[in-house]
């Protein structure tokens, strides 16, 4: 199988490209189980390509455009606001994975616009999850992100604790208020064990 995209946890190995682990029995879907998502508002949000976004054996690349966000309305559902990006679940069944033994996330990517890394956590509604804003990089560059780099968006009325024992997946998406675009190339995502 081609080594399309690696999602690894060092010492307790998640292997996205090989669809099995060499440590605790944790199964991570291969890259075919990554998905793109875009709102259905028809206001300009889009992702290209929206399917089959492998560019070569080592990297993927997508261009994401998010439409202007409308004026905030109290109690408005998430579906009233534009959203777009790519993501995956750690388990095909969308069950939680305990990452308590992980200290940081190592990303190797290139990026020319405002994209955030989003942690999908059981019990936190979409749009309210913990995120971190990714620095731009002209070429593929390694960045180390710790759990303390994540925060909940300012619009969240009732903050929930980040619980890394209840994570279900990750997403890359644009969270800006105004229309924005970005081209994102991803080489790898590595979850680093505390004992490293």
What CATH number corresponds to the domain at position 156? 2.60.120.430
d(CA 61, CA 58): 10
CB-based contact 33:88 (threshold 8 Å):
yes
Residue for token pair 């440590």: 23
- Looking at residue 74, its pLDDT comes to 56
d(CA 85, CA 139): 20
- Looking at residue 78, its pLDDT comes to 61
Is 74 inside a domain boundary?
yes
Residue 111 pairs in a beta bridge with: 137, 184
d(CA 172, CA 189): 12
- Looking at residue 76, its pLDDT comes to 57
Report helix, strand and coil shares of the chain as percent, to nearest 5.
Answer: 5, 40, 55
Strands of 73-112 (E only): list them.
84-89, 102-111
Range of the domain at 20: 6-193
Enumerate residues 6+ apart whose C-beta is below 8 A from 173.
37, 64, 66, 83, 84, 85, 86, 87, 115, 116, 118
Q: State both tokens at 74.
A: 């109290």
- Looking at residue 25, its pLDDT comes to 25
Is 43 inside a domain boundary?
yes
Q: Please give the tally of structural domains in the chain.
A: 1
Q: Tens-digit pLDDT profile for the chain (196 aa)? A: 333 344 444 433 333 332 223 333 233 334 456 788 888 888 889 988 776 555 556 777 889 999 987 776 555 566 667 888 988 888 777 888 888 888 888 888 999 999 999 999 999 988 889 999 999 999 999 999 999 999 998 878 777 899 999 999 999 999 888 899 999 988 888 887 644 3
Is 168 inside a domain boundary?
yes
Is 1 inside a domain boundary?
no
Residue for token pair 């390694």: 142
- Looking at residue 14, its pLDDT comes to 36
195-168-136 Cα angle (round to 5): 75
- Looking at residue 75, its pLDDT comes to 55
Is 46 inside a domain boundary?
yes
């Amino acid at each position: 199988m081609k080594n399309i995209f690696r999602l690894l946890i060092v010492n307790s190995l998640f292997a996205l490209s090989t669809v099995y682990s060499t440590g605790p029995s944790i199964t991570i879907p291969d890259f075919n189980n990554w998905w793109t998502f875009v709102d259905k508002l028809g206001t300009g949000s889009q992702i290209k390509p929206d399917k089959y976004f492998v560019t070569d054996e080592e990297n993927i690349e997508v261009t994401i455009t998010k439409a202007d966000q409308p004026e905030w309305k109290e109690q408005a559902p998430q579906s009233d606001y534009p959203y777009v990006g790519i993501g995956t679940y750690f388990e095909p069944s969308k069950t939680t994975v305990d990452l308590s033994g992980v200290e940081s996330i190592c990303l190797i990517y290139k990026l020319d616009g405002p994209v955030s890394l989003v942690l999908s956590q059981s019990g936190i509604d979409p749009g309210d999850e913990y995120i971190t804003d990714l620095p731009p990089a002209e070429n593929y560059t390694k960045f180390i992100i710790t759990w303390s780099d994540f925060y909940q968006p300012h619009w969240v009325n009732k903050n929930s604790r980040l619980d890394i024992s209840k994570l279900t997946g990750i997403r890359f998406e644009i969270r800006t208020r105004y229309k924005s675009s970005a081209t994102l190339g991803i080489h790898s995502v590595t979850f680093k064990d505390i004992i490293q």
